[in-house]
Amino acid sequence: MSGYLKDGEWHEGSDGYAEDDGTFQRWETDFRDWITPDGSPGPDGQNAVKAEAGRFHLYVSYACPWAHRTLITRALKEIEDIIPISVTHWLMRERGWTFDDGPGVVPDPNEGAGTIHELYQIARDDVTGKATVPVLWDKKERRIINNESSEIIRIFNDGFSELGANDIDLYPAPHREEINAVNERVYEDVNNGVYKSGFATTQEAYEEAVEPLFDTLHWLEGRLEGQDYLVGGQLTEADIRLLTTLLRFDAVYYSHFKCNRKRIADLPNLHRYTLALAGREEIAGTINMHHAKHHYYQSHKSINPTQIVPVGPDLQFG
Protein backbone atom coordinates (compact mmCIF):
# COMPACT_ATOMS: atom_id res chain seq x y z
CA MET A 1 0.00 0.00 0.00
CA SER A 2 1.09 3.58 -0.58
CA GLY A 3 2.74 5.82 1.95
CA TYR A 4 1.68 8.91 3.84
CA LEU A 5 2.92 12.34 4.86
CA LYS A 6 3.80 13.28 8.43
CA ASP A 7 4.96 16.80 9.24
CA GLY A 8 5.88 17.31 5.61
CA GLU A 9 7.96 14.14 5.28
CA TRP A 10 6.97 11.17 3.09
CA HIS A 11 6.81 7.78 4.79
CA GLU A 12 6.35 4.43 3.08
CA GLY A 13 3.80 1.97 4.39
CA SER A 14 0.08 1.64 5.07
CA ASP A 15 -0.19 3.14 8.56
CA GLY A 16 -3.62 4.58 9.16
CA TYR A 17 -5.62 2.26 6.93
CA ALA A 18 -7.08 -0.02 9.61
CA GLU A 19 -8.09 0.37 13.23
CA ASP A 20 -7.13 -2.17 15.88
CA ASP A 21 -10.48 -3.94 15.39
CA GLY A 22 -9.80 -4.45 11.69
CA THR A 23 -12.16 -1.79 10.34
CA PHE A 24 -11.11 0.45 7.47
CA GLN A 25 -10.22 4.06 8.29
CA ARG A 26 -10.45 6.84 5.69
CA TRP A 27 -8.25 9.86 6.34
CA GLU A 28 -9.98 13.23 6.24
CA THR A 29 -9.08 15.78 3.58
CA ASP A 30 -7.97 19.17 4.88
CA PHE A 31 -7.57 21.51 1.89
CA ARG A 32 -11.06 22.97 1.76
CA ASP A 33 -10.98 26.41 0.11
CA TRP A 34 -13.41 27.37 -2.66
CA ILE A 35 -13.53 29.05 -6.06
CA THR A 36 -16.42 31.41 -6.75
CA PRO A 37 -17.23 33.64 -9.75
CA ASP A 38 -16.46 36.83 -7.79
CA GLY A 39 -14.22 35.61 -4.99
CA SER A 40 -16.95 35.78 -2.36
CA PRO A 41 -16.88 33.09 0.38
CA GLY A 42 -18.00 29.54 -0.36
CA PRO A 43 -21.50 28.27 0.48
CA ASP A 44 -20.57 27.55 4.11
CA GLY A 45 -18.32 30.57 4.50
CA GLN A 46 -15.16 28.89 3.21
CA ASN A 47 -12.24 31.02 2.13
CA ALA A 48 -12.48 31.49 -1.63
CA VAL A 49 -10.58 32.87 -4.59
CA LYS A 50 -12.05 34.34 -7.74
CA ALA A 51 -12.41 32.13 -10.79
CA GLU A 52 -9.80 33.09 -13.36
CA ALA A 53 -8.97 31.57 -16.73
CA GLY A 54 -5.59 29.82 -16.76
CA ARG A 55 -5.17 29.84 -12.98
CA PHE A 56 -6.30 26.35 -11.91
CA HIS A 57 -5.30 22.78 -12.68
CA LEU A 58 -6.85 19.42 -11.77
CA TYR A 59 -4.76 16.37 -10.84
CA VAL A 60 -6.58 13.03 -11.10
CA SER A 61 -6.27 9.30 -11.49
CA TYR A 62 -8.54 7.58 -13.99
CA ALA A 63 -8.55 4.63 -11.59
CA CYS A 64 -9.86 6.52 -8.57
CA PRO A 65 -13.66 6.76 -8.23
CA TRP A 66 -13.38 9.93 -6.14
CA ALA A 67 -11.29 11.69 -8.79
CA HIS A 68 -13.58 10.32 -11.50
CA ARG A 69 -16.45 12.37 -10.04
CA THR A 70 -14.55 15.56 -10.82
CA LEU A 71 -13.72 14.46 -14.37
CA ILE A 72 -17.38 13.73 -15.08
CA THR A 73 -18.55 17.06 -13.65
CA ARG A 74 -15.83 18.93 -15.55
CA ALA A 75 -17.02 17.33 -18.79
CA LEU A 76 -20.73 17.87 -18.11
CA LYS A 77 -20.12 21.55 -17.33
CA GLU A 78 -17.91 21.92 -20.45
CA ILE A 79 -15.02 23.48 -18.57
CA GLU A 80 -12.23 21.28 -19.96
CA ASP A 81 -10.52 24.30 -21.54
CA ILE A 82 -10.77 26.25 -18.29
CA ILE A 83 -9.48 23.46 -16.04
CA PRO A 84 -6.72 21.39 -17.69
CA ILE A 85 -5.75 18.07 -16.11
CA SER A 86 -2.81 15.86 -15.27
CA VAL A 87 -3.34 12.11 -14.93
CA THR A 88 -1.33 9.78 -12.73
CA HIS A 89 -0.13 6.27 -13.49
CA TRP A 90 -2.54 3.57 -12.32
CA LEU A 91 0.03 1.78 -10.15
CA MET A 92 0.18 3.10 -6.59
CA ARG A 93 2.94 1.69 -4.41
CA GLU A 94 5.53 3.07 -1.97
CA ARG A 95 5.70 6.49 -3.69
CA GLY A 96 1.93 6.89 -3.81
CA TRP A 97 0.38 8.26 -6.98
CA THR A 98 3.10 8.96 -9.55
CA PHE A 99 3.48 10.43 -13.02
CA ASP A 100 5.68 7.56 -14.16
CA ASP A 101 5.43 6.99 -17.89
CA GLY A 102 2.55 4.83 -19.08
CA PRO A 103 -0.48 4.81 -21.38
CA GLY A 104 -2.85 7.62 -20.50
CA VAL A 105 -0.49 9.36 -18.09
CA VAL A 106 -0.45 13.16 -18.41
CA PRO A 107 2.58 14.67 -16.58
CA ASP A 108 2.52 17.69 -14.31
CA PRO A 109 3.20 20.85 -16.38
CA ASN A 110 3.18 23.22 -13.40
CA GLU A 111 5.69 22.03 -10.81
CA GLY A 112 7.30 19.16 -12.68
CA ALA A 113 6.27 16.87 -9.84
CA GLY A 114 6.99 13.18 -10.18
CA THR A 115 4.44 12.25 -7.52
CA ILE A 116 1.25 13.68 -6.07
CA HIS A 117 2.79 13.90 -2.61
CA GLU A 118 5.31 16.45 -3.90
CA LEU A 119 2.41 18.81 -4.62
CA TYR A 120 1.20 18.42 -1.04
CA GLN A 121 4.68 19.23 0.22
CA ILE A 122 4.86 22.34 -1.94
CA ALA A 123 1.43 23.45 -0.77
CA ARG A 124 2.19 23.03 2.94
CA ASP A 125 5.60 22.21 4.35
CA ASP A 126 4.21 20.60 7.52
CA VAL A 127 1.41 18.61 5.87
CA THR A 128 0.25 15.37 7.50
CA GLY A 129 -2.06 12.80 5.88
CA LYS A 130 -2.56 10.81 2.71
CA ALA A 131 -1.55 12.36 -0.62
CA THR A 132 -4.84 11.69 -2.40
CA VAL A 133 -6.45 12.64 -5.68
CA PRO A 134 -8.25 14.68 -6.87
CA VAL A 135 -6.21 17.82 -6.27
CA LEU A 136 -7.48 21.20 -7.44
CA TRP A 137 -4.34 23.32 -7.75
CA ASP A 138 -3.86 27.10 -7.77
CA LYS A 139 -0.98 27.82 -10.14
CA LYS A 140 -0.74 31.47 -9.11
CA GLU A 141 -0.27 30.77 -5.39
CA ARG A 142 1.31 27.29 -5.78
CA ARG A 143 -1.10 25.64 -3.40
CA ILE A 144 -3.95 23.17 -3.15
CA ILE A 145 -7.33 24.88 -3.26
CA ASN A 146 -9.30 21.74 -2.46
CA ASN A 147 -8.75 17.97 -2.36
CA GLU A 148 -12.26 16.89 -1.35
CA SER A 149 -14.06 15.47 -4.39
CA SER A 150 -17.56 16.21 -3.11
CA GLU A 151 -16.65 19.88 -2.82
CA ILE A 152 -14.71 20.10 -6.07
CA ILE A 153 -17.76 18.93 -8.04
CA ARG A 154 -19.81 21.73 -6.45
CA ILE A 155 -17.07 24.23 -7.24
CA PHE A 156 -17.20 23.06 -10.86
CA ASN A 157 -21.00 23.21 -10.85
CA ASP A 158 -21.24 26.95 -10.24
CA GLY A 159 -17.77 28.48 -9.81
CA PHE A 160 -17.01 29.13 -13.48
CA SER A 161 -20.32 30.52 -14.71
CA GLU A 162 -18.65 33.77 -15.81
CA LEU A 163 -15.90 31.98 -17.75
CA GLY A 164 -17.94 29.87 -20.15
CA ALA A 165 -19.36 26.99 -18.12
CA ASN A 166 -22.78 25.89 -19.33
CA ASP A 167 -25.95 26.34 -17.27
CA ILE A 168 -26.53 22.69 -16.33
CA ASP A 169 -27.23 22.61 -12.58
CA LEU A 170 -26.18 19.37 -10.91
CA TYR A 171 -27.14 20.60 -7.44
CA PRO A 172 -30.51 22.29 -7.98
CA ALA A 173 -31.82 24.20 -4.97
CA PRO A 174 -35.32 22.59 -4.89
CA HIS A 175 -33.80 19.11 -4.55
CA ARG A 176 -30.79 19.74 -2.33
CA GLU A 177 -32.23 18.24 0.83
CA GLU A 178 -33.08 15.01 -0.98
CA ILE A 179 -29.74 14.96 -2.82
CA ASN A 180 -27.90 15.36 0.47
CA ALA A 181 -29.86 12.50 2.05
CA VAL A 182 -29.16 10.15 -0.87
CA ASN A 183 -25.51 11.20 -0.93
CA GLU A 184 -25.11 10.46 2.77
CA ARG A 185 -26.41 6.90 2.53
CA VAL A 186 -24.62 6.16 -0.73
CA TYR A 187 -21.31 7.49 0.60
CA GLU A 188 -21.42 5.53 3.84
CA ASP A 189 -22.70 2.21 2.52
CA VAL A 190 -21.66 2.11 -1.16
CA ASN A 191 -18.86 4.54 -2.09
CA ASN A 192 -16.97 3.88 1.13
CA GLY A 193 -18.70 0.57 1.80
CA VAL A 194 -16.76 -1.28 -0.88
CA TYR A 195 -13.51 -0.09 0.71
CA LYS A 196 -14.66 -1.00 4.21
CA SER A 197 -15.39 -4.48 2.89
CA GLY A 198 -12.22 -4.84 0.82
CA PHE A 199 -9.75 -3.52 3.38
CA ALA A 200 -11.32 -5.16 6.44
CA THR A 201 -8.82 -7.34 8.26
CA THR A 202 -11.27 -9.38 10.33
CA GLN A 203 -14.30 -11.44 9.36
CA GLU A 204 -16.51 -9.39 11.67
CA ALA A 205 -15.41 -6.06 10.19
CA TYR A 206 -15.94 -7.39 6.67
CA GLU A 207 -19.47 -8.61 7.37
CA GLU A 208 -20.36 -5.37 9.17
CA ALA A 209 -19.48 -3.52 5.97
CA VAL A 210 -20.76 -5.85 3.27
CA GLU A 211 -24.29 -6.27 4.69
CA PRO A 212 -25.25 -2.55 4.54
CA LEU A 213 -23.55 -2.31 1.13
CA PHE A 214 -26.02 -4.75 -0.39
CA ASP A 215 -28.94 -3.43 1.64
CA THR A 216 -28.33 -0.03 0.07
CA LEU A 217 -27.80 -1.44 -3.43
CA HIS A 218 -31.22 -3.10 -3.15
CA TRP A 219 -32.69 0.18 -1.86
CA LEU A 220 -31.24 1.95 -4.92
CA GLU A 221 -32.60 -0.80 -7.18
CA GLY A 222 -36.09 -0.07 -5.86
CA ARG A 223 -35.63 3.67 -6.06
CA LEU A 224 -34.77 3.41 -9.77
CA GLU A 225 -37.85 1.41 -10.65
CA GLY A 226 -39.47 3.29 -13.52
CA GLN A 227 -37.09 6.25 -13.40
CA ASP A 228 -33.77 7.25 -14.93
CA TYR A 229 -32.26 9.33 -12.12
CA LEU A 230 -32.04 9.19 -8.34
CA VAL A 231 -33.54 12.59 -7.51
CA GLY A 232 -36.00 14.97 -9.13
CA GLY A 233 -36.25 13.28 -12.52
CA GLN A 234 -33.00 14.89 -13.67
CA LEU A 235 -29.27 14.26 -13.63
CA THR A 236 -27.74 15.52 -10.38
CA GLU A 237 -24.54 15.11 -8.43
CA ALA A 238 -26.18 12.19 -6.60
CA ASP A 239 -26.04 10.21 -9.85
CA ILE A 240 -22.42 11.13 -10.50
CA ARG A 241 -21.35 10.17 -6.98
CA LEU A 242 -23.01 6.76 -7.26
CA LEU A 243 -22.01 6.05 -10.85
CA THR A 244 -18.26 5.99 -10.31
CA THR A 245 -18.63 3.13 -7.83
CA LEU A 246 -21.08 1.23 -10.02
CA LEU A 247 -18.72 1.41 -13.00
CA ARG A 248 -16.00 -0.39 -11.02
CA PHE A 249 -18.22 -2.80 -9.15
CA ASP A 250 -18.43 -5.89 -11.36
CA ALA A 251 -14.87 -5.56 -12.68
CA VAL A 252 -13.16 -4.86 -9.36
CA TYR A 253 -15.16 -4.70 -6.15
CA TYR A 254 -17.16 -7.89 -6.75
CA SER A 255 -14.04 -10.07 -6.70
CA HIS A 256 -11.11 -8.00 -5.45
CA PHE A 257 -12.99 -6.52 -2.48
CA LYS A 258 -15.15 -9.64 -1.88
CA CYS A 259 -18.39 -7.73 -2.56
CA ASN A 260 -19.72 -10.81 -4.27
CA ARG A 261 -23.29 -11.32 -3.13
CA LYS A 262 -24.52 -9.91 -6.46
CA ARG A 263 -23.14 -8.09 -9.47
CA ILE A 264 -24.60 -4.84 -10.73
CA ALA A 265 -25.48 -6.88 -13.83
CA ASP A 266 -27.80 -8.94 -11.57
CA LEU A 267 -29.77 -5.85 -10.53
CA PRO A 268 -31.74 -4.82 -13.65
CA ASN A 269 -32.57 -1.24 -12.70
CA LEU A 270 -29.06 -0.42 -11.52
CA HIS A 271 -27.59 -2.14 -14.57
CA ARG A 272 -29.83 -0.18 -16.95
CA TYR A 273 -29.04 3.03 -15.10
CA THR A 274 -25.27 2.41 -15.20
CA LEU A 275 -25.23 1.66 -18.92
CA ALA A 276 -27.39 4.67 -19.74
CA LEU A 277 -25.20 7.13 -17.83
CA ALA A 278 -21.95 5.54 -19.04
CA GLY A 279 -23.25 5.82 -22.60
CA ARG A 280 -23.56 9.61 -22.44
CA GLU A 281 -20.83 11.09 -24.64
CA GLU A 282 -19.46 13.40 -21.94
CA ILE A 283 -19.25 10.63 -19.36
CA ALA A 284 -17.99 7.91 -21.71
CA GLY A 285 -14.89 9.96 -22.45
CA THR A 286 -13.90 9.93 -18.77
CA ILE A 287 -14.02 6.13 -18.30
CA ASN A 288 -10.77 4.18 -18.39
CA MET A 289 -11.30 0.63 -17.14
CA HIS A 290 -7.73 -0.36 -18.01
CA HIS A 291 -6.45 2.11 -15.42
CA ALA A 292 -9.13 1.09 -12.93
CA LYS A 293 -8.56 -2.66 -13.11
CA HIS A 294 -4.78 -2.47 -13.21
CA HIS A 295 -4.71 -0.06 -10.28
CA TYR A 296 -6.70 -2.21 -7.89
CA TYR A 297 -5.37 -5.62 -8.81
CA GLN A 298 -1.73 -4.55 -9.05
CA SER A 299 -1.49 -1.93 -6.30
CA HIS A 300 -3.05 -3.89 -3.43
CA LYS A 301 -0.49 -6.65 -2.95
CA SER A 302 -1.88 -7.58 0.47
CA ILE A 303 -5.22 -8.42 -1.17
CA ASN A 304 -3.94 -9.78 -4.50
CA PRO A 305 -0.35 -11.01 -3.96
CA THR A 306 0.00 -12.38 -7.51
CA GLN A 307 -1.00 -9.01 -9.05
CA ILE A 308 -2.75 -10.89 -11.85
CA VAL A 309 -5.41 -8.71 -13.50
CA PRO A 310 -8.52 -10.71 -14.52
CA VAL A 311 -9.35 -10.63 -18.22
CA GLY A 312 -13.09 -10.25 -17.52
CA PRO A 313 -15.81 -9.40 -17.18
CA ASP A 314 -16.67 -8.17 -20.66
CA LEU A 315 -18.14 -4.76 -19.90
CA GLN A 316 -20.20 -2.64 -22.27
CA PHE A 317 -18.65 0.69 -21.38
CA GLY A 318 -15.21 2.25 -21.29
Question: Which residues on adjacent β-strands are paired with residue 238?
Answer: none
Catalytic site includes residue 259: no
Q: Who contacts 281 (Cβ-Cβ below 8 Å, separation ≥6)?
A: none
Q: What is the 3-state secondary structure (H, E, C) of the chain?
A: CCCEEECCEEECCCCCCECCCCCECCCCCCCECEEECCCCCCCCCCCEEECCCCCEEEEECCCCHHHHHHHHHHHHCCCCCCCCEEECCCCCECCECECCCCCCCECCCCCCCCEHHHHHHHHCCCCCECCCCCEEEECCCCEEEECCHHHHHHHHHHCCCCCCCCCCCCCCHHHHHHHHHHHHHHHHHHHCHHHHHHCCCCHHHHHHHHHHHHHHHHHHHHHCCCCCCCECCECCHHHHHHHHHHHHHHHHHHHHCCCCCCCHHHCHHHHHHHHHHHCCHHHHCCCCHHHHHHHHHHHCCCCCCCCCCCCCCCCCCC
Residue 312: which residues within 8 A CB-CB, separation 6 or more?
none
Q: Active-site residue 273, yes or no?
A: no
Active-site option among 17, 59, 64, 273: 64
Catalytic residue among 4, 17, 195, 273: 195
Catalytic site residues? 64, 195
